[in-house]
Structure 1
Amino acid sequence: MTAPSALTVLLIETPTLGDRSYLVHDGEIAFVVDPQRDIDRVMALLQEHGVRATHVLETHIHNDYVTGGLALAAATGAAYLVNAADDVAFERTPVHDGQEILVGSRMRLTALATPGHTFTHLSYALRDTESGSDLGVFSGGSLLYGATGRPDLLGADHTDALVRHQHASAHRLADLLPDEAEVFPTHGFGSFCSATQTAAASSTIGLERRRNPVLTQDAETYVRELLAGLGPWPAYYAHMAPANADGPAAPDLSPPERADAAELRRRIEAGEWVVDLRHRTAFAAGHAPGTLNLGLDGGFATYVGWLIPWGTPITLLGESVEDVAEAQRELVRIGIDRPAAHATGTPHDWTEGGLASFATATFGDLAHVRHHREVVILDVRRRDEHHATAIAGAVNIPLHELLSRLGEVPAGEVWVHCAGGYRASIAASMLDGHGRTVVAVDDVMDNAGTAGLPLMGPSA
């Protein structure tokens, strides 16, 4: 997008993690906000636009990804701006509340303390000194589109204080900036760092004044309703802030070693993760026994990071080297730096024996089969999703708990479902690998009721 003054704001989207980074330039000089780990995307944009980065800014110590800020600053010679109050293990340019930073001849940033997502969170207001316009604010995990960053990632002891800070911080931004100023958040596009989700792709301070609960509700109402709606977050988040405080280096994206079928079997039997990256329908039709299905078409990195016991070696199976490279890029963003191995081709190349498979079905098929025999219905959605609308009689074990609770899945043929099929396939691959007879429901939850399945819950 291009601001009215012709300063250019470039979005660098990472949809699989629900985040945005930003590159802003005046035609010659640029700054970057909250870059992801794979900084080659930023370097390519700098080259494409013929501009030089002089400043790299962090709004906060991130909990949902490993930053590329330190590596980008080193690669470009830019100053690396991090809150002076953050306890980090690397040299940085310390930034304080109210500090002004001039980038080039016309871009002036003002650091604004906006605690709430973290205690040391900063937002950066951008003014074009040539036109005198307040163009927008890079709000990180503070003011999002119709939401705010969640306040509970630092632990229960801090949640109450942080949620109240979050309300005050959003009002600070709304009070300081004009209605036409654009809002440029880092989170809120599917990231679990967002307290709630919206479908908006852009916004302004004025729009947020009218629609964002943090700005339309009094503090006590906002606190009560936000805390009541918070769900779980991915387990890998616990490792992100320490990694970011240590100062992560640029990732190694060179291909991992290649594994043959015998080596893949050895790794599976050793308890390592061998992950098939193909679409769930292809996986169900035939796969190497013991492999797990986390397709590249869904939230691959989020669910690998959420489900894998941290530190477990991971091997990637893809139809092409490009698939493996894409998965590897996703993984370095969450701090899984080097896969143990990889293989490409087809499942016949990945096993020395026969292939395993399981059936897929729709909710209509499930409704039909229940008239003829008893089956186990396993709902692997989160608890909040299950409580809102559930199939009567379904057992709810959230996907992120399934590996440790496999023994709780009732005996019998298991029909596993989620909201759209992706999580169901992951769960089905886990159950299949443990010898269970499983059917993966590859259908959207909205079809369960129309198929005639009895539903329960307030949203049924």
Structure 2
Amino acid sequence: MLLEKIKTPGLSHLSYLVGSGDQAAVIDPRRDCETYIEKARAAGLKITHIFETHRNEDLVSGAPILAEMTGAKVVHGPNPEKPIVYAQTAHEGDCFAIGQLELQVLETPGHTDDHLAYALYDTAYPDKAVGVFTGDALFVGDVGRTDFYPDRLKEVAGLLFDSLQKILALGDQAMIYPAHGAGSVCGSGMAKREFSSVGHERLNNPRLQIKSRDEFIEVKISENHYQPPYFKLMERLNMEGGEAAPRVMRPRNLSLDELKDCNPDHVIDIRDPMAYASGHLPGSMSLPVDMISAFAGWFIAEGERLALIASDEQELSEAMEHLIRIAFDDIVGGYVGIVAAAKQGEHITQMPMIETTEVALRLDADKDNWTLLDVRDDDERANNSIENSEHIYVGHLNEAWRKLDKERHYTLMCASGERATVAAGWLASQGFENLDIYLGGISAWQQAHDK
């Protein structure tokens, strides 16, 4: 038998390959799905089933693509909004055999209306479930968000509570296999560990300590989550069925002249934030490789053409993988070599960074025409903030920049300086010139004022 977890970096997406006899099933595949075929063939297995736990909001599903490549049937939950055109609909109690294994369907709405969990049984030891694929209903250390139906907040939170009871009823022995791990936008309280059991979660998961349905509902509706614009694109593609990923996951190389002439909608500097601050091409925005999955969907729209600037070829390859998985396919190419550009006489601009002493001096002086702009999320801001700073979440600058004064001087801050660099880079790409970054952010401020 085989049960293998396949993790997608950046998105912290977890998918699974399950096999027994000569058959295999894939749960929640990603768009670039050749890896599942390769792993199945290496184990002498044929993929016969593809199970989706729900309509994903944060990545393009690989289910219709993998089905076309393998002939496997796709199984999805009942979707009241619009049928999933590439899948058959499963309901509570349906059972699917994969060799000696069985996957039994649990309808588990709450995170989404179409959400399913799949209880995994070994027919040779049938008394209790071996495990359960929980999708976005139950994570290690957290439970699913319930904010996708704003006019039904209390109802869907209650549905999730009921769904969790179904999962808990499988027994403490069952291992849980969620669709995301720590770092995903689908939950903020996930443990860094990616293995757990129903019993361990029953004892330790903070949300499962809430025994009252009404109390659970109130806790869930008070949570703060962000929905980047690209979620709507993912939802549409995951109902209609997205196209296969490009076979070559590396942008073509651009010369400096080609970069200047290709006329993209966005020039994206994917290098480390400190490298961007030290020197970058005018008009480029900062979106480090490891932050693409979290923030690209705020600043890039469907169909926009992208050019990438990197430190090396590996960065270009990784960036393209992240972008393709969220359907930003129109990558005209990548350029490596800011130093080389400087040697050719190209104008290179910097993003100044300041420290706590300078921030304190500016605050004390009550400087005219200067704003300390905090770009952390609402929960971070509520926990600790700097007096007289203003707040706009980094993602909301995608539109909020239009209301800012380009003549004003802004110092961007976050917890350390990374998100502040993304924010500053975005504003710079929109024509703001009076910008700098508070290096160390609220962490440095706390250190200085705790002494």
Give the alignment's TM-score, normalised by structure 2.
0.89
Residue 385 (structure 1) aligned with residue 380 (structure 2):
yes
Residue 152 (structure 1) aligned with residue 147 (structure 2):
yes
- Is the Cα contact below 8 Å between 1:15 and 1:190 reproduced in 2? no
- The one-letter code matched in structure 2 to 1:236 is Y
Q: Counterparts of 1:235-250 in structure 2 under 5 Å? A: 235-250=229-244
- The one-letter code matched in structure 1 to 2:159 is H
Alignment equivalent of 2:433, drawn from 424, 433, 436: 436
Q: Distance in 2 between matches of 1:314 and 1:230?
A: 31
The farther-off stretch of 371-380 and 16-25 is 371-380
Q: Distance in 2 between matches of 1:428 and 1:369?
A: 19
What residue number does 1:206 align with? 199
- Quick one: structure 1 residues 107 and 292, their matched pair in 2 at CA, closer, same or farther if it must change by over 3 Å? same
Q: Distance in 2 between matches of 1:432 and 1:357?
A: 10
Alpha-carbon deviation of 1:364?
5.5
**Structure 1 portions without partners, runs of 5+:** 1-6, 455-460
What residue number does 1:324 align with? 316
Alpha-carbon deviation of 1:147?
2.0
Q: Distance in 2 between matches of 1:263 and 1:114?
A: 51
- The one-letter code matched in structure 2 to 1:449 is Q
Q: Distance in 2 between matches of 1:405 and 1:85?
A: 34
What residue number does 2:328 align with? 336
Alpha-carbon deviation of 1:279?
0.6
Alpha-carbon deviation of 1:258?
4.6
What residue number does 1:457 align with? none
- Is the Cα contact below 8 Å between 1:88 and 1:247 reproduced in 2? no
DSSP 3-state at the match of 1:340? strand
- Is the Cα contact below 8 Å between 1:252 and 1:338 reproduced in 2? no
- Is the Cα contact below 8 Å between 1:348 and 1:355 reproduced in 2? no
- Quick one: structure 1 residues 212 and 63, their matched pair in 2 at CA, closer, same or farther if it must change by over 3 Å? same
Alpha-carbon deviation of 1:361?
4.0
* TM-superposition CA deviations, 1:351-376 (whole Å, max 9, x none): 86310112234446644676688453
- The one-letter code matched in structure 2 to 1:388 is N
- The one-letter code matched in structure 1 to 2:135 is G
What residue number does 1:345 align with? 337
- The one-letter code matched in structure 2 to 1:420 is S
* TM-superposition CA deviations, 1:223-252 (whole Å, max 9, x none): 111211222222211111110111112111
Alignment equivalent of 1:288, drawn from 281, 294, 301: 281
- Is the Cα contact below 8 Å between 1:149 and 1:187 reproduced in 2? no
Q: Distance in 1 between matches of 2:372 and 2:220?
A: 31
Alignment equivalent of 1:419, drawn from 415, 420, 428: 415
**Structure 2 portions without partners, runs of 5+:** none
- Quick one: structure 1 residues 233 and 196, their matched pair in 2 at CA, closer, same or farther if it must change by over 3 Å? farther
What residue number does 2:445 align with? 448
The farther-off stretch of 232-241 and 445-454 is 445-454
DSSP 3-state at the match of 1:390? coil
* TM-superposition CA deviations, 1:274-308 (whole Å, max 9, x none): 00111111111111111011111x32122011222
- Is the Cα contact below 8 Å between 1:231 and 1:384 reproduced in 2? no
Q: Counterparts of 1:3-82 in structure 2 under 5 Å? A: 7-26=1-20, 28-82=22-76
Alignment equivalent of 2:158, drawn from 155, 164, 167: 164
Q: What's the % identity of the aligned pairs? A: 28
What residue number does 2:215 align with? 221
What residue number does 1:129 align with? 123
Give the RMSD, CA atoms, in angstroms. 2.6
User: How many residues are paired up?
Assistant: 442
Alpha-carbon deviation of 1:34?
0.4
Residue 102 (structure 1) aligned with residue 58 (structure 2):
no
Q: Distance in 1 between matches of 2:392 and 2:422?
A: 13
Q: Counterparts of 1:84-103 in structure 2 under 5 Å? A: 84-85=78-79, 87-88=82-83, 90-103=85-98
- The one-letter code matched in structure 2 to 1:447 is A
What residue number does 2:110 align with? 116
DSSP 3-state at the match of 1:146? coil
What residue number does 2:136 align with? 141
Give the alignment's TM-score, normalised by structure 1.
0.88
